[in-house]
């Protein structure tokens, strides 16, 4: 029997579909749950979180550079970058799903994909301040999931007024724009004109916005 060529493994790897990793992760999550991994909840709600980052990729492949792109660098050619986001269970540390895309696709796009595919009724999803977006709020409302979003006070006059009031929390009326309502009609989803949200001041004095439970 002839020994395989030293590059046989790397060549075969090129034919491995990205969907194989999705299937493997789903299988691992199911195995963990079948072995009675404790389902930690907070006040009866499963806690999930979405976060994003960038991933440096090898420079050597023109195909990778053309597909993923990257950023300009003053010192010369920068390495290609992928945008990545993941949805994970906060207390069990299981990564439920992930998105990897070209660099110019934003984290909000990833979040909407993950929301639509892997977040269910009564899940509670935690977001950092970059996710304070009406589309995220609308998707969460449409599927009846809960959410907590860290809000940057500087560019939000309502949040600024809440901070200056010294109140611990504040329920307020949140209105969707006509553009958001029309966009969701395209998905077959009828949004209300408005809903109620709540500002909450937390112990570390960071500001979050959450849907009222």
Q: Would you state the structure tokens that stand for residue 101, as one six-digit string?
A: 């895309």
Q: For residue 198, what are the contacts with CB-CB under 8 A and spacing of at least 6?
A: 169, 170, 171, 172, 209, 210, 211, 212
Q: Which residue has the higher pLDDT, 79 or 82?
A: 82
DSSP notation for 16-28: --THHHHHHHHHH
CA-to-CA dists, residue 64 to 3, 52, 101, 186, angstroms: 31, 20, 11, 34
Q: Which residue has the higher pLDDT, 25 or 208?
A: 25
User: Could you tell me the pLDDT band of residue 207, with boundaries at 50, 70 and 90?
Assistant: low
Q: Is the pLDDT reported for residue 163 higher than 90? A: no
Q: Which residue has the higher pLDDT, 75 or 82?
A: 82
pLDDT for 3 equals 76
* Cβ neighbours of 74 (radius 10 Å): 5
CA atoms within 13 A on the CB side of 28: 12
Q: What's the burial of 183, exposed, middle or buried (CB within 10 Å: 0-12/13-18/19+)?
A: middle
Q: Is 4 helix (H, G, I), strand (E, B) or coil?
A: coil
User: Could you tell me the pLDDT band of residue 208, with boundaries at 50, 70 and 90?
Assistant: low
Q: Which helix (H) or strand (E) holds 50?
A: strand 45-56
Angle at 53 between CA 156 and CA 18, to 5 degrees: 135
Domain segments of the chain as ranges: 41-55+86-96+105-211
Least confident of 143-152, 154-163, 174-183: 154-163
Tokens 């998905």, residue? 187
pLDDT for 198 equals 94
pLDDT for 74 equals 64
Across the range 183-202, mean pLDDT stands at: 92
Q: Is the pLDDT reported for residue 127 higher than 60? A: yes
Across the range 31-46, mean pLDDT stands at: 75
pLDDT for 45 equals 87
Q: Is the pLDDT reported for residue 213 higher than 50? A: no
Q: Which residue has the higher pLDDT, 18 or 183?
A: 183
Q: How far apart are CA 100 and CA 56, in angstroms?
A: 12
Strands 124-127 and 146-150: parallel
């Amino acid at each position: 029997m002839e020994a395989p060529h030293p590059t046989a493994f790397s060549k075969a790897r090129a034919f491995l579909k990205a969907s194989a990793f999705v299937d493997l992760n789903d299988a691992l999550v199911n195995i963990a749950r079948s072995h009675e991994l404790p389902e930690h909840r907070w006040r009866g709600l499963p806690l999930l979180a979405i976060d994003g980052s960038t991933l440096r990729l090898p420079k050597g492949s023109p195909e990778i550079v053309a597909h993923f792109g990257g950023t300009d660098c003053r010192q010369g050619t920068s390495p290609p970058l992928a945008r990545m986001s993941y949805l994970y269970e906060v207390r069990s540390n299981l990564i439920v799903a992930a998105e990897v895309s070209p660099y110019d696709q934003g984290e909000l796009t990833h979040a909407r994909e993950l929301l639509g595919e892997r977040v269910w009724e009564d899940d509670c999803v935690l977001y950092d301040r970059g996710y304070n977006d009406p589309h995220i709020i609308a998707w969460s409302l449409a599927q009846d999931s809960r959410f907590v979003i860290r809000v940057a006070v500087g560019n939000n006059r309502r949040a600024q007024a809440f901070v200056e009031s010294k109140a611990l929390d504040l329920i307020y009326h949140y209105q969707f724009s006509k553009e958001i309502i029309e966009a969701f009609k395209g998905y077959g989803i009828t949004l209300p004109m408005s809903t109620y949200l709540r500002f909450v001041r937390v112990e570390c004095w960071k500001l979050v916005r959450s849907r009222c439970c």
